[in-house]
Amino acid sequence: MSAPEAVAPPAPAWRGALRRVPWQQLTPLLALVLLVVVGSLLHPSFLTATNLFNVLTRSAFIGIIAVGATFVIIGGGIDLSVGSMAAFLSGAMILLMNALQGGALSPVGVVLMGVGMVLGSGLVAGAANGLAITRGRIEPFIVTLGTLGIFRSLVTYLADGGTISLDFGLRGVYRPVFYGNLLGIPIPVWAFAVVAVLGAILLHRTRFGRYVRAIGSNQEVARYAAIRVARIRTLTYVIQGLCVAIAVVLYVPRLGSASASTGILWELEAIAAVIIGGTALKGGSGHIWGTVVGAIMLSLIGNVLNLTSVISEYLNGTVQGLIIIGAVFLQRGRQGR
Amino acid sequence: MNRSFRILAAVATLAFGVALAQTTTIGVSIPAATHGWTGGVNWWAAQAKTRLEAAYPNLEFVINTAGSPAEQADDLEDLIAINQIDALVILPFESDPLTEPVASAKDRGVFITVVDRGLSRAGIEDVYVAGNNTVMGQVSAEYIIERLGGQGKIVVLRGIPTAIDNERFDAFMALVEPTDIEVLDSQYANWNRDDGFEVMQDFLTRFPEIDAVWAQDDDIALGVIEALRQAGRENELFVVGGAGMKEIIKGVMDGDTLIPVDVLYPPAMIATAMEVTALKFVSDVPILGRYILDSTLITPENAADYYFPDSPF
């Protein structure tokens, strides 16, 4: 990473540059590189473009949601409702598009209506979480645990306990949003990249981002500094809701269906991605690129395990657990010094 | 005043007691609709309740759905204490945690019908109704072996690590192992479409040659198909699912080549159990015993018999 400065200047500057490299922040990236090396040793197909794009595409759902979760967590909050919210928005979107199909709108128009509805609903759902937390003064854990149950049971109700399936007349039009490519790179990977870059700019280069970090590290001090704490915190949940909606727009065309088992435990994966990426669960500090690395790592572990028979399928969970704990342990150990 | 009130109360109690004696209450305790198959169970239970209550006015069914074994045990206590049930039809969430609660219902004189997942102790239930997981694995294996002529390469996607999954998998492997069919690998896909999609993507990356996929479950099979389409490999193999989801059965009926057959594991077994239990209270026919439903191979010829377009599953 520091190669350009590292070679040319004389010794003292060289040492300084080396010291300036934020080693503890790079641990997640090192763990990722290690996983890639292990994967490529395990199976020759691992490093093919198809496989790597499969992994990146898969990580896009959790990754995009986790970008939103980074704001919420850095701001000192937590959102447990994202998986259920994704399932509910998927179900509602499919039902709306099925209802509009065959009406005055063209299939493309129907899909655009669906996308618009989901993005709007995501903002509203996020705002509802945020307002209940800030204006209602209820702990975020409780509010979002409540909405987790509400969204999950609503999708079960909408699906009548079964599965909501997208009308086959619409699948052809909508399918490319997940399966399509732009310049050889799958659309969901583009979307993930764009969301991550915008998220990073918002968090690291704007006043809003600074406020979020200030509130997360000390809410009282932030309040004395005339930061409108309630508004900023609410906005972090709105961003989270929008991110969930974007993930849903990419998720629905993959299988064209939603059921009560859609998005189960996505909230834990999203939070895990954020923490693996070096954001503190107690809030105050963190960065988007770490979250991106964390999300990719989670998908990569599953992929590597599927590519080998060396480990019994009964032990997959153990390996996953060990790698996650290991990655975060390295980070903590260095920061503690 | 006081005395007349007491008489009134006594009369009311008596009338209420007579009314209770005339109605037989049957409690039905099933898992909540958390995936396709349990969704089917819920739908069929509601259908059977409607039909049976219309046919036999002296029967009343109370359906409870539970999200976990502990919640189901609580439901049982409520059914006994509040609804005062005469009979219980239960599809246990898990065998071990529910054995004692069901046994204590039995001790209070409740007639017990157990569905699908047997209790851990013998002799508690009066009636047992179940699908046959072992036969389901065998029927799937027989079809794949015959279709491949006893040789080829297959991959297996398993369900959620449970006794049900083990019975299916072990029975399947017992028939496949003696043949020249090579099982390239098996991984859990948790009876879930998304997991089916991702596991199959990785199998396709890893194995350039696959002749058949045993997905064991229709939800997994739907995920598998999307992965095959994405890789453009849907013409080089076939997929065998299971359970009897209406979309899959429709496909079989229409001669789909990618999923040519389905292996039945009917969620409607809850309705069978309710019908049998109802007979106990409306007739003198002998009903005690074990009812094991077949795991039929559904082919284009018989698919119409198993197609229920109104069911959510």
- Tell which wins on pLDDT, B10 or A89: A89
pLDDT at A6 over 60: no
Task: Quickly state the pLDDT bin for B298 (edges 50, 70, 90).
Answer: very high
Lowest mean pLDDT: which of A19-23, A226-230, A298-302, B203-207? A19-23
Q: Which of A166-170, A176-180, A320-324, B207-211 has the highest average model confidence (pLDDT)?
A: B207-211
Residue B169 domain-assigned (yes or no): yes
Partner residue facing A161 (CB), from B43, B206, B247: B43
**pLDDT value at position A321?**
87
Provide mean pLDDT across the span A209-220. Answer: 92
Residue A4 domain-assigned (yes or no): no
CB contact under 8 A, B38 and A161: yes
pLDDT at A303 over 90: no
User: Which 8-state DSSP code applies to residue A8?
Assistant: S
CATH code of the domain containing B156: 3.40.50.2300
Chain B residue numbers touching A260 (CB-CB < 8 A)? 33-35, 39
Residue B152 domain-assigned (yes or no): yes
The 3-class secondary structure across A259-297, one letter per residue, is: ECCCCCCHHHHHHHHHHHCCCCCCCCCCCHHHHHHHHHH
Provide mean pLDDT across the span A79-94. Answer: 95
Domain tally, chain A: 1
CA distances from A266 to B172, B248, B256 (A): 32, 28, 34
Q: How far apart, in whole angstroms, are the C-alpha atoms of residue A30 and residue B269?
A: 53
**pLDDT value at position B122?**
81
**pLDDT value at position A253?**
92
* Closest to A238 (Cα-Cα) out of A57, A85, A60, A84: A85
The shortest C-alpha distance from B275 to chain A (Å) reads 22
Residue B295 domain-assigned (yes or no): no
Mutate to test the interface with B, among A179, A313, A316, A320 (most CBs of B within 10 A): A313
Chain B residue numbers touching A58 (CB-CB < 8 A)? 198, 201
pLDDT at A3 over 50: no
Judgement on whether residues B19 and B42 belong to the same structural domain of the protein: yes
Chain A: residues touching B (Cβ < 8 Å): 43, 45-46, 48, 50-51, 54, 58, 156, 159-163, 165, 179, 254-255, 257, 259-262, 264, 302-303, 306-307, 309, 313-314, 316
Judgement on whether residues B100 and B53 belong to the same structural domain of the protein: yes
Q: How far apart, in whole angstroms, are the C-alpha atoms of residue B80 and residue B157?
A: 40
CB contact under 8 A, A309 and B185: yes
Residue B298 domain-assigned (yes or no): no
The shortest C-alpha distance from A155 to chain B (Å) reads 10
Q: Is B291 within 8 Å of chain A by CB?
A: no
Chain A residue numbers touching B230 (CB-CB < 8 A)? 179
Chain B residue numbers touching A186 (CB-CB < 8 A)? none
Chain B residue numbers touching A316 (CB-CB < 8 A)? 187-188
Residue A272 domain-assigned (yes or no): yes
Q: What is the pLDDT of residues A285-296, one digit of tens each?
A: 898 999 999 999
Instruction: Give the nearest chain A residue to B41 (CA atoms).
Output: A161
Judgement on whether residues B109 and B141 belong to the same structural domain of the protein: no
Residue A8 domain-assigned (yes or no): no
**pLDDT value at position A21?**
65
Domain tally, chain B: 2
pLDDT at B81 over 50: yes
Q: How far apart, in whole angstroms, are the C-alpha atoms of residue A274 and residue A269?
A: 9
**pLDDT value at position A260?**
81
Partner residue facing B187 (CB), from A254, A264, A313: A313
What proportion of chain A, given as a percentage, has pLDDT over 70?
Answer: 91
Q: What is the pLDDT of residues B6-24, one digit of tens each?
A: 665 655 555 555 444 578 9
Partner residue facing B197 (CB), from A156, A254, A307: A254
Judgement on whether residues B10 and B100 belong to the same structural domain of the protein: yes
The shortest C-alpha distance from B286 to chain A (Å) reads 34
Judgement on whether residues B94 and B8 belong to the same structural domain of the protein: yes
Partner residue facing A162 (CB), from B36, B158, B194: B36
pLDDT at A91 over 90: yes
Task: Quickly state the pLDDT bin for A2 (edges 50, 70, 90).
Answer: very low
Chain A contacts in chain B segment 219-238 (CB below 8 A) = 219, 222-223, 226, 230-231
Residue B244 domain-assigned (yes or no): yes
Residue B170 Cα to chain centre, angstroms: 19
**pLDDT value at position A136?**
93
**pLDDT value at position B213?**
96
Partner residue facing A303 (CB), from B32, B39, B202: B202
Mutate to test the interface with B, among A52, A90, A259, A299 (most CBs of B within 10 A): A259
Task: Quickly state the pLDDT bin for B2 (edges 50, 70, 90).
Answer: low
User: Which 8-state DSSP code applies to residue B114?
Assistant: E
Residue B292 domain-assigned (yes or no): no
Q: What is the pLDDT of residues A7-65, one digit of tens each?
A: 545 556 666 666 666 666 677 788 888 889 988 888 888 888 888 998 999 999 999 99
The shortest C-alpha distance from A67 to chain B (Å) reads 21
Residue A16 domain-assigned (yes or no): no
| Residue A117 amino acid letter | M
CB contact under 8 A, A306 and B161: no
Chain A residue numbers touching B170 (CB-CB < 8 A)? none
Map residue B165 onto helix, strand or coil.
helix
Total H helices, total E strands in chain B: 10, 12
Q: For the whole model, what pTM was predicted?
A: 0.78
CATH code of the domain containing A129: 1.10.3470
CA distances from B62 to A131, B85, B270 (A): 39, 9, 14
CB contact under 8 A, A54 and B194: no
Judgement on whether residues B30 and B115 belong to the same structural domain of the protein: yes
CB contact under 8 A, B199 and A306: yes
CB contact under 8 A, B199 and A255: no
Q: Is B192 within 8 Å of chain A by CB?
A: yes
Q: What is the pLDDT of residues A140-196, one digit of tens each?
A: 999 999 999 999 999 988 887 778 888 878 888 898 899 988 998 999 999 999 999
Residue A1 domain-assigned (yes or no): no
Residue A11 domain-assigned (yes or no): no
Residue B6 domain-assigned (yes or no): yes
pLDDT at A330 over 90: no
Range of the domain at A193: 24-336
Q: How far apart, in whole angstroms, are the C-alpha atoms of residue B304 and residue B114?
A: 29
Encoded tokens for B200 = 């199959």
Residue B300 domain-assigned (yes or no): no
Q: How many CB pairs under 8 A join A and B?
A: 94
Chain B residue numbers touching A309 (CB-CB < 8 A)? 185
pLDDT at B3 over 80: no
Provide mean pLDDT across the span A109-138. Answer: 94
Q: Which of A122-136, A212-226, B20-34, B127-141 has the highest average model confidence (pLDDT)?
A: A122-136
Q: Give Cβ neighbours of residue A6 (< 8 Å, ≥ 6 apart).
A: A14, A17, A18
Lowest mean pLDDT: which of A221-225, A257-261, B41-45? A257-261
Judgement on whether residues B126 and B138 belong to the same structural domain of the protein: no
Judgement on whether residues B125 and B137 belong to the same structural domain of the protein: no
CB contact under 8 A, A54 and B197: no
Q: CA A294, A297, A303: angle at the middle one, nearest 5?
A: 155
Range of the domain at B22: 2-131+267-282
Residue A9 domain-assigned (yes or no): no
Q: What is the pLDDT of residues B214-246, one digit of tens each?
A: 999 999 999 999 999 999 998 999 999 998 888
Instruction: Give the nearest chain B residue to A300 (CA atoms).
Output: B202
Judgement on whether residues B60 and B157 belong to the same structural domain of the protein: no
Judgement on whether residues B183 and B75 belong to the same structural domain of the protein: no
Partner residue facing B205 (CB), from A159, A160, A307: A307
**pLDDT value at position A67?**
97
Q: Which of B67-71, B132-136, B274-278 has the highest average model confidence (pLDDT)?
A: B274-278
What proportion of chain B, given as a percentage, has pLDDT over 70?
Answer: 93
Q: What is the overall mean pLDDT for chain B?
A: 88
Provide mean pLDDT across the span A186-207. Answer: 95
Q: How far apart, in whole angstroms, are the C-alpha atoms of residue B97 and residue A283?
A: 40
Q: How far apart, in whole angstroms, are the C-alpha atoms of residue B104 and residue A273?
A: 46
Provide mean pLDDT across the span B172-195. Answer: 92
